[in-house]
Structure 1
Amino acid sequence: MKIAYIVSRYPAVSHTFILREVLGLRAAGFDVTTISVRRADPTHLLTPHDQQEAAQTHVLVGASALSYLGACLHALTRPLHLARMFARAWSLRRPGLKGSLWACFYALEAILAWHICHQRGINHFHAHFANVACDVALLAALLAGPDASFTFTMHGPTEFADVAHFRLAEKAAAAASIICISDFARSQLMALLPPAQWPKLRIVHCGIDVTAYRFQSRTPAAVREILCVGRLVPVKAQALLLEALATLSIPFHLTLVGDGPDRARLESLTDQLGLRPHVTFAGNIGQNAIHTYYQRAHLFVLPSFAEGLPVVLIEAMASGVPVISTRIAGIPELIEHNVEGLLVPPGRVDCLRDAIQQLLRDETRSIAFAHAARAKVESAFDGRQCTHDLAAIFSAMQTHPTPTLETPDAVVATGAT
């Protein structure tokens, strides 16, 4: 089966799960063409796989004028589909002049994406996240005609925070199927769709190759190594973690893996709290090197204010690192509190500090959590099973197509605007 994967920026160091998914589907016999709305950041191409994927991925923004001209001329040969596509682009536009202008840009990008796929005989368009990539995939499928299908993977949390801006209800109604990474993500879409459409909401976790993560018992040490992996942005709450550690009574060293716009502020806060000797900002680390960080960590902490279902938690759990995170979104589906790790209320620095101290002081409890967490990953987040489940959904759609691109009335039933 041929399928196009459309992503806002691919590959990206914070979205390695998409790369794993693409490689898994290809290994399962799928012909996957990757299309990135914007070119990948060169600083994110940290592994040979990243570099290879970037080299063979089609990029829409920045493509030559000749490419766009050829695609537009091709699209003019199907005026009815083109008119429908532009009408849908206009209906999805955001308010104001800027929103109208961007709707035109998305339509042009969709024309080029469709042209690329038409040349390769691709009729299935799949997007990750309900952002611009989802707009482009939906519009490209409309241009492809009634035999085409459009699906997307729903992660959150950004789209859930502003349903109207992302036109989430409209996109959900138009999709033939939606892959939800958690029960929480599915429930948020159920609130936007009539019950008749709930069956198309399918849960497939973001999995990992469990065999690539060696379970290793932690070696006791005078200074405990605490690890946090994630983009340095306010929603990941690294600032809260620094505040919690400032009053910790146990010797520690914190490594923050990742980069982002919040780095300068976090470094300043580190100095203000007197933690500079105890904190390392490691920057972005590729998948070929991240294992080393998991292996030497005594504790993994992710204190986010909002999340989907973090793959870094899955990786840490597979590696035998005891984990602490927050009781939000899909995380409780991954970590059962006091069984596979500890969950704390988001934003509570006191609860976070107490949880860190508990696990660093109680080695027996930490070991029990680590073993239970590894078992959870093996049973529910094995990438091979996740790929199998996803492949089955795509294959069933090819055998029994269920196009819903032309049913915008479904949105009316939800009261969405």
Structure 2
Amino acid sequence: MILYVVRYHPALSETFVRDEVRGLFLAGVPVELAAFDVRDSVAVEPVGAPVHAQPHRWGWLGALPALLFEWLRRPGILPVRVLWLTTLVRRARRVHVHFAGEAAEWTRLACQRAGVPYSVTVHAVDLYKPRAALGAVLAGATRVVAMTAFNVEALRVGYAIEARLVRFGLRLDGIPLAAPDHSRLILAVGRNVPKKGLDRVVKLAQHLGDQAEVVIVSDMLPSPPADVRGLLPHAQVLDLMASAALFVLPCRRAPDGDMDGLPVVLVEAMATGLPVVTTNVSGIPELVDEAVGWVVPPDDEEALFAAVESALADPAERARRGAAGKDRVRQKLYGIARLVAEMKEVLGEG
């Protein structure tokens, strides 16, 4: 059995992990998922594979016999989360953890205790706003995966790690296609963290006034004149993409160093045929250029406004770049079948 480990499940911002596990499961790989906490209460589609949720509160009572037995194997001071995970790891042939943060630290300890190898996929916040144990997590992994060439180079330069590039995959058959029309809806989607640049989207709404309707799907507070919808189920977000005129995500490097690798929502928007306006941060230029969207420098408010106004003024150009972006995503890079094939090699299942 291959055990996947994540910090949170379900998590609306990590649907790509769900799709990866589900894709492997449907391909016949014996895979299970372990998660320590729940991030979002909004319903998400099940992964199909067995899911193990860490107990909480009174739930620990039922787990006590297994935890005590595990502790007696090698007594010592360990977080109870590590003991719980070790009981699952002992049934696995290999473990793979997404994000080299807290969950990866606990995975490293559990795998050391059980004598089971682990691999890790590095994303963004775990690399650019690292925890103290990142070096140990990377050194202990038998394989390290990165989702962008930018991150592969950052791992090589910063940690002397030769990571394998495996771009994430989407279930493209479940993504609706945008219908060309005269929509004036501008859409932004992201968590309310500085690196997403959503404050710039609010200023964009103020700048545009009645020229467009700006909708933000996020956990941010109401920010008129932008229409903040809160967190929505994934299917509703995809439907909004299919009905919008433009997708805007002005990513930046945050003051604490955090930045995106390559936002999944950008790829999803392009997969619908929706043209995008974004920035040349981190791994974004590996997917988005002027042939498929509009790319501006981060935190350049005037350039962002000008790009959006140019896109709104030319429906034919929006349609052309949107179609080119859809073809790039669907034909070349981001299908789930390609991801499953590459991850089977990483996991020794190929």
Q: TM-score, normalised by structure 2?
A: 0.90
Q: Answer whether contact 1:8 1:37 (CA < 8 A) is retained.
A: yes
* Runs of 5+ unmatched residues, structure 2: 253-258
Q: Answer whether contact 1:217 1:367 (CA < 8 A) is retained.
A: no
Offset from partner CA, 1:50-71 (integer Å, 9 cap, x none)? 7x78x94321554414524532
Determine if the alignment matches structure 1 residue 295 to structure 2 residue 255.
Answer: no
- Aligned match of 1:405: none
Offset from partner CA, 1:65-85 (integer Å, 9 cap, x none)? 4524532423432x3xx77xx
Structure 1 distance, partners of 2:328, 2:143, is 27
Counterparts of residues 10-409 of structure 1 (less than 5 Å): 10-38=9-37, 40-41=38-39, 43-44=41-42, 46-49=43-46, 56-62=51-57, 63-65=59-61, 67-77=63-73, 79=74, 104-105=78-79, 108-118=80-90, 121-145=91-115, 148-156=116-124, 158-163=125-130, 165-194=131-160, 197-198=161-162, 201-221=163-183, 224-248=184-208, 251-259=211-219, 263-264=220-221, 267=222, 269-270=223-224, 275=225, 279-305=226-252, 306-336=259-289, 338-378=290-330, 379-395=332-348
Offset from partner CA, 1:20-74 (integer Å, 9 cap, x none)? 1110010111222211122x14623x24527x78x94321554414524532423
Structure 2 distance, partners of 1:288, 1:341, is 23
Offset from partner CA, 1:380-417 (integer Å, 9 cap, x none)? 11111111111122126xx9xxxxxxxxxxxxxxxxxx
C-alpha deviation, 1:368, in angstroms = 1.7
Q: Answer whether contact 1:169 1:192 (CA < 8 A) is retained.
A: no
Q: Answer whether contact 2:189 2:216 (CA < 8 A) is retained.
A: yes
SS in 2 for 1:185: helix
1:211/1:70 CA distance change after superposition, 3 Å? closer
1:250/1:315 CA distance change after superposition, 3 Å? same
- Aligned match of 1:97: none
- How well do the aligned residues superpose, as a CA RMSD in angstroms? 2.2
Structure 1 distance, partners of 2:303, 2:136, is 40
Aligned residues: 342
Q: Answer whether contact 1:111 1:143 (CA < 8 A) is retained.
A: no
Identity of aligned residues (%): 24
C-alpha deviation, 1:151, in angstroms = 0.8
Q: Which structure has the larger Rg over C-alpha atoms?
A: 1
Q: Answer whether contact 1:60 1:109 (CA < 8 A) is retained.
A: no
Q: Answer whether contact 2:195 2:251 (CA < 8 A) is retained.
A: yes
Q: Answer whether contact 2:54 2:84 (CA < 8 A) is retained.
A: no
Q: TM-score, normalised by structure 1?
A: 0.77
Structure 2 distance, partners of 1:61, 1:217, is 45
SS in 1 for 2:181: coil
Structure 2 distance, partners of 1:283, 1:42, is 12
1:312/1:282 CA distance change after superposition, 3 Å? same
SS in 2 for 1:76: helix
Q: Give the counterpart letter for 2:128 in structure 1.
A: A
Structure 2 distance, partners of 1:135, 1:48, is 27
Instruction: Identify, as 1 or 2, the structure richer in helix.
Output: 1
* Runs of 5+ unmatched residues, structure 1: 87-103, 400-417
- Aligned match of 2:255: none
Q: Answer whether contact 2:176 2:239 (CA < 8 A) is retained.
A: no
Q: Give the counterpart letter for 1:25 in structure 2.
A: L
